[in-house]
Amino acid sequence: MKEAIFEIRENKKIAKNTYEMVLAGDTTAIEKPGQFVNLKLEGFFLRRPISVCDYETGSAHRDGRGAAEQATAGSAAQGRLTLVYKAVGEGTEKMAALGAGTQLSVLTGLGNGYAQEKAGDAPVLIGGGAGIPPMYALCKALMASGGKKVQVILGFNTKDEIFYQEKFEALGAEVHVATADGSVGEKGFVTDVLAKLEYTYFYACGPLPMLRAIEKTAKSDGEYSFEERMGCGFGACMGCSMKMADGSYKRVCKEGPVFGREEIAW
Ligand X SMILES: Cc1cc2nc3c(=O)[nH]c(=O)nc-3n(C[C@H](O)[C@H](O)[C@H](O)COP(=O)(O)OP(=O)(O)OC[C@H]3O[C@@H](n4cnc5c(N)ncnc54)[C@H](O)[C@@H]3O)c2cc1C
Interface positions with ligand FMN (CB under 6 A): 231, 237
Nearest-approach distance from CB 245 to ligand FES, in angstroms: 19
Q: Which stretch binds ligand FES (CB under 6 A): 11-19, 112-120, 192-200, 235-243?
A: 235-243
Confirm if 131 and 207 have CB atoms less than 8 A apart: yes
Q: Quick one: residue 252, left, alpha or beta (phi over 0 = left, psi -120 to 50 = alpha)?
A: alpha
CA–centroid distance for 171 within its chain: 16
Of residues 237, 248, 249, 262, which one binds ligand FES by CB under 6 A? 237
Of residues 230, 250, 257, 259, which one binds another protein by CB under 8 A? 230
Give Cα separations from 116 to 3, 21, 192, 203 (angstroms).
26, 25, 25, 9
d(CA 248, CA 243): 6
Nearest-approach distance from CB 253 to ligand FMN, in angstroms: 13
Q: Does 258 bind ligand FES (CB under 6 A)?
A: no
User: Between 240 and 264, whose beta carbon lies closer to ligand FMN?
Assistant: 240
> What is the DSSP secondary structure assignment for residue 264, as one 8-state letter?
B
Of residues 22, 29, 138, 230, which one binds ligand FES by CB under 6 A? 230
> What are the DSSP E strand ranges found in 145-244?
151-156, 174-179, 186-187, 202-205, 222-225, 241-243
Binding site for ligand FES (CB under 6 A): 230-233, 235-240, 251, 253-254
Q: Give residues in contact with ligand X (CB under 6 A).
A: 36, 46, 48-51, 84-86, 88-92, 130, 133, 227-230, 257
